[in-house]
């Protein structure tokens, strides 16, 4: 996740306030809330992209053997992102194990699948396909809530203003996930 210079300034200030709580001006509270909203939106977008990539992986797996190279590349990307290989992936890799890349992926997936099974048997949950939801930012220490008197009835807060469209646009997937660089097979690497 990348932050703009302005977002980093707000984040730095929010972290400083978290370490040394002081009353905040309304403008600072609104900036922190906007930043929290932007982070929530980025997390949601990452979840949607992950869902799309996993659906793409399933499509490539269903189109095997004609989509071998695309499937193996997508599986490597998914594993790098924390994907827990499914039994269908292991079966597909077993059918393709005559290819060196597929054989190496099969070994890696078997290790990951074994860890996942052991974790489930031990009572822990395995990594899921969807990212865990992040809790919403409810209050900032030293913000408007610190200035409020307990006797006054609380009025509902005004909804945050939508960010003007002239601010930083949402990043493209190619900016968030740079293209993979090909790695030469082990036998072609030079020593030293």
Specify the pLDDT at position 83: 87
Mean pLDDT of 138-166: 55
What does pTM read for this prediction?
Answer: 0.48
pLDDT reported for residue 49? 87
Q: Is the pLDDT of residue 59 over 80?
A: yes
Which residue in the block uniquely carries the two structure tokens 């097979």?
185
pLDDT of residue 107: 92
Chain centroid offset of residue 104 CA = 26
Q: Encoding tokens for residue 90?
A: 């292991």
Across the range 19-28, mean pLDDT stands at: 80
CA atoms in the 13 A half-sphere facing the CB of 88? 11
Per-residue pLDDT band for 110 (boundaries 50, 70, 90) equals very high
Upper half-sphere CA count for residue 57 (Cβ side, 13 Å): 24
Instruction: Supply φ then ψ for residue 9, to 5 degrees.
Output: -60, -45
Least reliable range by pLDDT among 18-22, 98-102, 103-107: 18-22
DSSP at 74:
H
Q: Give the start-end residues of each E strand in 3-157.
A: none
pLDDT of residue 126: 46
């Amino acid at each position: 996740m990348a932050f703009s210079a302005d977002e980093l300034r707000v984040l730095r200030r929010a972290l400083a306030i978290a370490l040394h709580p002081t009353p905040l001006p309304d403008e600072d509270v609104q900036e922190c809330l906007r930043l929290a909203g932007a982070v929530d939106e980025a997390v949601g977008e990452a979840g949607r992209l992950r869902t799309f990539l996993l659906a793409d992986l399933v499509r490539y797996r269903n189109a095997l053997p004609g989509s071998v190279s695309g499937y193996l590349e997508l599986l490597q990307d998914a594993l790098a992102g924390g994907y827990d290989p499914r039994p269908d992936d292991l079966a597909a890799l077993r059918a393709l194990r005559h290819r060196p890349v597929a054989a190496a992926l099969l070994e890696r997936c078997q290790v990951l699948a074994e860890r996942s099974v052991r974790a489930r048997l031990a009572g822990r949950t395995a990594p899921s396909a969807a990212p865990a939801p992040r809790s919403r930012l409810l209050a900032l220490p030293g913000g408007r809530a610190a200035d409020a008197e307990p006797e006054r009835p609380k009025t509902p807060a005004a909804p945050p203003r939508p960010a003007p469209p002239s601010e930083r646009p949402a990043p493209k997937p190619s900016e968030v996930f740079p293209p993979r660089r090909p790695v030469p097979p082990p036998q072609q690497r030079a020593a030293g």
